[in-house]
Amino acid sequence: MSTDPRLDYPATQRNREVILEVLREVLPEQGTVLELASGSGQHVAFFASALPQLRWQPSDHDASVFASIAAWTDDLGNVAAPVRIDAASPTWPLNPGWACDAVICANMIHISPWAACLGLLDGVSQCLREAGPLCLYGPFMRGGVHTAPSNEGFDKSLRARDPRWGVRDLDEVARAATRRGLVLDRVFEMPANNLSVVFRRVKR
């Protein structure tokens, strides 16, 4: 029986290069990047290896993935041990005054209740430094309309699994973000009808 704790998410291996291209454009030169919903840890391992000047803080609400994150990143000196953050929780277990220079989150806001998206925006608005980017990756509707039949089918399958889940409308996410001082800055079209969307923290 294998004792390797590393989880392997095939989609993550497929999309990591194109997400990295976006991150190279929008992340600051230096500082700390908080990743929410790290899952297997394959993204943070790949990004931290490609961008070694940045410090990386992985997290997830599910502590059972921490062994996988640690195993994928244990040879990288710029990745901290994962912390448990439930995006939907009103308080995040970060030290008072803890701040980061960027936040990334891939494939989470449609696979969780809307409250997790709002909680993410609340939490990020508190810990992200001014002008720092919040980068979300995944499928989105635009103007309340699906951008591809495959996304519509995916949305139906998500809602069948849990009626609180579903592909989010970028306009609705952007309105909720603006109310929290996070302004939509860039939208990148990605393969397989996904988007990378970048918000910026405005002056408080």
Ligand X SMILES: C[S@@+](CC[C@H](N)C(=O)[O-])C[C@H]1O[C@@H](n2cnc3c(N)ncnc32)[C@H](O)[C@@H]1O
122 binds ligand X (CB under 6 A): no
3-state secondary structure of 151: helix
155 binds ligand X (CB under 6 A): no
Task: State the residue number with the nearest CB to ligand X.
Answer: 39
Give least dist CB 131 to ligand X, A: 24
The span from the CA of 4 to the CA of 6, in Å, is: 6
51 binds ligand X (CB under 6 A): no
Give whichever of 88 and 184 is closer to ligand X, judged by the CB atom. Answer: 88
57 binds ligand X (CB under 6 A): no
Place of tokens 């918000």: 199
Say how far residue 160 (Cα) sits from the centre of its chain: 23
6 binds ligand X (CB under 6 A): no
Stretch of 25-33, 92-100, 106-114, 155-163 contacting ligand X, by CB under 6 A: 106-114
41 binds ligand X (CB under 6 A): no
65 binds ligand X (CB under 6 A): yes
What are the residues whose beta carbons fall under 8 Å from the beta carbon of 196, sequence distance 6 or more? 19, 22, 135, 136, 137, 186, 187, 188, 190
3-state secondary structure of 189: strand
Say how far residue 37 (Cα) sits from the centre of its chain: 6
Give whichever of 137 and 199 is closer to ligand X, judged by the CB atom. Answer: 137
The span from the CA of 166 to the CA of 96, in Å, is: 33
What are the residues whose beta carbons fall under 8 Å from the beta carbon of 121, sequence distance 6 or more? 173, 176, 177, 180, 182
Give least dist CB 166 to ligand X, A: 13
The residues pairing with 134 across neighbouring beta strands, listed in sequence order, are 103, 199
Give whichever of 39 and 139 is closer to ligand X, judged by the CB atom. Answer: 39
What does the binding site for ligand X look like in residue numbers (CB under 6 A)?
Answer: 9, 12, 36-39, 43, 60-62, 65, 85-88, 106-108, 111-112, 116
